[in-house]
């Protein structure tokens, strides 16, 4: 299962997110759930890096399928919008009756 933890501050600003695990929907290279999550997350991280001036930290481990992404400061409006878009896509996967058992999204206040 893919576990997604979204971190928000008490002021509802994004602080970052963690993603770990593999969906297990199908064999490696055939797993459409892992591919969809990876595409959403990588595009979001790359977009924040390219289209905003936000300072971030990103640590990845391909073997475990983990990504630890953090904002150094309060994120810009654009970075928040990009994360909202990523979360929307991830929640659509989680809400699908066909894929809900392969992804779990939680929100934590930090």
- Domains contained in the chain, number: 1
Which are the catalytic amino acids? 22, 34
Please report the pLDDT score of residue 108 as a whole number. Answer: 97
Asked if residue 49 has pLDDT above 90, the reply is yes
Question: Which pLDDT score, from 0 to 100, does residue 70 have?
Answer: 98
Of 41-45, 53-57, 73-77, 96-100, the one with minimum mean pLDDT is 96-100
CA–CA separation, 94 and 101 (whole Å): 8
What's the per-residue H, E or C state across 44-82?
A: HHHHHHHHCCCCEEEEEECCCCEEEEEECCCCCHHHHHH
Per-residue model confidence (pLDDT) at position 62: 82
pTM for the full predicted model: 0.93
- What single DSSP character describes residue 28? T
Q: What is the pLDDT of residues 60-103, one digit of tens each?
A: 998 888 999 999 999 999 999 999 999 999 999 999 999 999 99
Q: What is the pLDDT of residue 29?
A: 86
- Boundaries of domain holding 54: 2-109
Q: Write down the pLDDT at residue 28.
A: 84
Q: 23: domain CATH number?
A: 3.30.70.1490
* Burial of residue 27 (number of CB atoms within 10 Å: 0-12, 13-18, 19+): exposed
């Amino acid at each position: 299962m893919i576990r997604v933890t979204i971190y928000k501050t008490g002021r509802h600003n994004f602080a970052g997110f963690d993603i770990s695990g593999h969906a297990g929907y199908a064999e490696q290279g055939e797993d459409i759930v892992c591919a969809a999550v990876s595409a959403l997350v990588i595009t979001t991280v790359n977009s924040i890096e390219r289209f905003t001036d936000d300072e971030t930290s990103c640590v990845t481990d391909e073997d475990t399928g983990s990504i630890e992404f953090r904002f150094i400061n309060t994120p810009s409006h654009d970075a928040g919008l990009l994360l909202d878009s990523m979360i929307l896509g991830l929640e659509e996967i989680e809400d699908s009756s066909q894929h809900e058992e392969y992804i779990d999204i939680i929100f934590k206040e930090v």
